[in-house]
Amino acid sequence: MQRESWNTRLGFILAASGSAIGLGNLWKFPYESYENGGSAFIFIYLFSIIIVGLPIMMAEIFIGKSTNKNPIGAFKALHPSGWHIIGWLGITSGFVILSYYSVVGGWTLRYFFQTISGAYLSLTDAQISNDFGNFVSNGPSQLLFHSLFFLLIIGIVIFGVRKGIEVAGKIFMPILFILLFIMVVFASQAKGFSRSIDFLFSPDFSKITTTSVMEAMGQSFFSLSLGMGAIITYGSYMKSDEPILKDAATIVALDTLIAILACLMIFPIIFSFELKPGASIGILFSTLPVLFLKMPGGIFIGPIFFLLIIFAALTSAVSLLEVVVSYFIDELKWPRKKATIFMGLAIWALGIPSALCNGGWGWLSGIKIIGNRNFFDSLDYLASNWMLPIGGIFIAIFTGWVVSKDTRNSSFAKDHQLIYRALMFILKFITPLLVFMVLLNTTGIVKLITG
């Protein structure tokens, strides 16, 4: 059977941006910025995007495009000596991330239903923002929405790359962008706007701690979908004569812009209405409905915006499942339908404890796994802050030091050579070392930053 490919180059860019732009930007980035003191966190994040994110994005597109294979097959094709274990690590990361990602995806579904049915119209700001806590501690509805979201993911992945993923990216990404922009314009009129700008952009480096550095770097991997093979997989559906660097830079820039816009939309609301986002993971959900009540036309914009978040989450979730599924299709020759349903069910099942540990099931919610993190937070911590960065180190070393120079140079032949060489230098010498140092610093073996 002939392997699938993207219809157009734009199709690739939008699909890869669709993978990158998701709950990482809209849900996770704002709450991590909030928890880690704002601007200093954002500053480290931006630094990491350039020194770590962009070079690895380039490397992953290269690995996929030059082999046209799933992550495991791609490493085998480029070097037959055990490096494909990185592909395995990536598939495992995809499995872990998707399990709890779908729980948050379910939250977006529920908020869509709440806003479209007008459930918040008669409530006060405080009641609306407390509603999040009531919702996450309701076990049956957590399970219901997690399952509904999973059905949607499976539905799209069964259709395959061109029909499912490319079309979804082409339609929803541009609309999301425009609407987000409109909401930021509205939020900028609120009285808390200038306080938000201060909070977000005037760095106070005394707030930097070991954990915030690690979180910021982990978040750059998570948000750009790097370190686990999603971009390798999407790159593998590219046609071989396309340049790489411009696409990589476009995806990175769009992703970063959306994350910053999300903060500019959310923080003015928190500061203007003195909301206390009790559970910080609820920041997005406890602020947006308040915003919709205040803004003109909010009753209509609310549900549309939640619908767009659902699509942004779906296009990312789909790329997570696609990494797992593409392996079973390419290497084990499973039909797409069988691979999607079997793997989808397994990941859904792993998501159940994540759905129930935020209060839905008292006993489970009390169990702390890593530090004082519950099941959900522990999986996220493990995947974003350890598995993706470790995958990233190996992808950088593999591309910089192991792959033959000829293969590499010929894949980048159509790119601007000076920029290519500069990025390759960073990828070889700086990226892996920097990521390694951050991980080492966190273990406490080496202390570069204290606090």
Sign of CA dihedral 411, 416, 417, 419: negative
- Running DSSP on this structure, what letter comes out for residue 3? P
**CB of 258: closest distance to ligand PHE in angstroms?**
9
Between 60 and 125, whose beta carbon lies closer to ligand PHE?
A: 60
Structure token pair of residue 89: 């690590």
CA dist., res. 29 & res. 124, Å (int): 26
User: H-helix or E-strand containing 121?
Assistant: none
Please tell me whether residue 347 binds ligand PHE under the rule CB under 6 A: no
Chain position whose Cβ is nearest to ligand PHE: 24
Would you count residue 233 as binding ligand PHE (CB under 6 A)? no
Question: Which DSSP string corresponds to 141-186?
Answer: HHHHHHHHHHHHHHHHHHH-IIIIIIHHHHHHHHHHHHHHHHHHHH
Q: Which stretch binds ligand PHE (CB under 6 A): 16-24, 114-122, 126-134, 414-422?
A: 16-24
Minimum gap (Å) between residue 216 Cβ and ligand PHE? 14
Nearer to ligand PHE, 365 or 384 (CB): 384
How many CB atoms neighbour CB 450 within 10 A? Answer: 9
Q: Out of 16, 42, 86, 228, which residue is the one contacting ligand PHE (CB under 6 A)?
A: 228
H-helix or E-strand spanning residue 413: none
CA distances from 430 to 52, 128, 442 (A): 8, 46, 18
CA distance between the termini of the chain: 55
Annotate each residue in 74-113 with x if it binds ligand PHE (CB under 6 A) or - if it does not, as one string.
-----------------------x----------------
Cα distance between residue 399 and residue 426, in whole Å: 12
Binding residue for ligand PHE (CB under 6 A) from 11, 18, 22, 360?
A: 22
Output phi, psi for 164, to 5 deg.
-85, -65
| Closer CB to ligand PHE, 71 or 192, in the complex | 71
Shorter beta-carbon distance to ligand PHE: residue 222 or 273: 222
Q: Which is nearer to ligand PHE, 20 or 214 (CB)?
A: 20
Position 316 contacts ligand PHE (CB under 6 A): yes
Near ligand PHE in 30-69, by CB under 6 A: none
Residues of this chain that interact with ligand PHE (CB under 6 A) are 19-20, 22-25, 97, 222-223, 225, 228, 230, 316, 319-320
